[in-house]
Amino acid sequence: MTTKTKDSALAGALAKTGSSLVTVAPRRARNVIGPLRPEWFEAIDVNLSATERRAATLTTRRSVKKAHQAAWLVRAIECMDLTTLAGDDTPGRVDRLCAKARHPLRDDLKAALGLAGYDLKTGAVCVYPAMVPHAVKALRGSGIPVASVATGFPAGLTPLKQRLEEIRYAVGEGADEIDIVIHRAHALTGDWAALHDEVAQMRQACGEAHMKAILATGELKTLSTVYKASMVAMQAGADFIKTSTGMEAVNATLPVSLVMVRALRDYRALAGYDIGYKPAGGIRQAKDALAYLILMKEEMGRDWMQPDLFRMGASALLADIERQLEHFVTGRYSSTDRHGMA
């Protein structure tokens, strides 16, 4: 297949999947802080076996190949929160990561894919609060949001007043999005009123910045608890629900993601608001990104394949996506070290 033919095939695939590169996300009514409504979730009991069976069929019933796969991987880049949350982060590392977010693919690959004139960039850059000013400066003029973790990330066990101040600090430094962590004990003990109250206060502290509520699902023990915590977070005003900090023993999985996506689908039917979804932790290969895009397409439709409603928290994922796109163009796999992150 010649490069010109590949360009045409990719453009066609983008259009057919609803991932057109000229797609503009519609303006949506933002979720609001509502009252706690236990009747929306208390009677829910998630069937583990049925959930696992459904999750296992997601990637076997649907596959995306060749130009369609390349198109979906381009979309995955645009839905990626490029992340660095290391204890040895420096302003220089954040600057380099932001440069990668601005230019996630090499120019020769973009040209070969027919994207030379398209401003391809990641969905956001996610950093610790102390690194927000450096990210804001590095991304100025790019249109890429700066996301900051907060609220005693990753454990969320600092006093509430301190957690709220951390949100206000990050927003004051220019963060556009705040990834909060819930106090897991409230979910594990079923104290939904306490969880709702805390998350609602966090949403208020975020102001205009969008709030992603991290449930740390690997620590919530059961899928029923995951569903209920998802509903409470959304009732308290979360704009996104997110699986994990990436630092738990178990992070994002397809069964957990299926339950959370069903929760946001139910919330949409009950409350009328579109809530975003973000899996995070352990998403390292292009095939993982495709699996989550398939989940969103199957369960929610094309709107949830765009960055205003779907993000993936990742650091190493982009390098593998680049390798897969280079293989699509050249027919050969390159070494991972040709696709440095920062």
Q: What is the pLDDT of residue 22?
A: 45
Q: Known catalytic residue: 242?
A: yes
Which class in CATH covers the domain with range 3-18+38-338?
alpha beta
**Mean pLDDT of all residues belonging to the chain:** 92
**Stated pTM of the model:** 0.92
Which residues are 125's β-sheet partners? 82, 146
pLDDT tens digits along 241-281: 999 999 999 999 999 999 999 999 999 999 999 999 999 99
Q: What is the pLDDT of residue 61?
A: 82
Q: Do strands 80-83 and 177-181 pair parallel, antiparallel, or not at all (unpaired)? A: unpaired
Q: Known catalytic residue: 278?
A: yes
The beta strand positions in the chain, using DSSP E, are: 80-83, 124-127, 146-149, 177-181, 210-214, 240-242, 276-278, 312-314
What are the structure tokens assigned to 169, written together? 């600090």
Q: Give 52's Cβ-side CA count (13 Å radius).
A: 5
pLDDT tens digits along 143-170: 999 999 999 999 999 999 999 999 999 9
Q: Known catalytic residue: 308?
A: no
Among the listed residues 110, 242, 288, 308, the single catalytic one is: 242
pLDDT tens digits along 18-58: 544 545 556 789 999 999 999 999 999 999 999 999 999 99
**Mean pLDDT confidence for 99-121:** 94
pLDDT tens digits along 298-331: 999 999 999 999 999 988 899 999 999 999 999 8
Among the listed residues 7, 81, 176, 179, the single catalytic one is: 179
Q: Decide if 275 contacts 44 (C-beta within 8 A).
A: no
- Cα separation, 186 vs 216, in Å, equals 12
Task: State the DSSP code for 307.
Answer: T
Q: What is the pLDDT of residue 1?
A: 44
Among the listed residues 278, 297, 308, 320, the single catalytic one is: 278
Residue 134, pLDDT above cutoff 80:
yes
Q: Decide if 49 contacts 275 (C-beta within 8 A).
A: no
The length of the chain is: 342
What are the structure tokens assigned to 245, written together? 């900090």
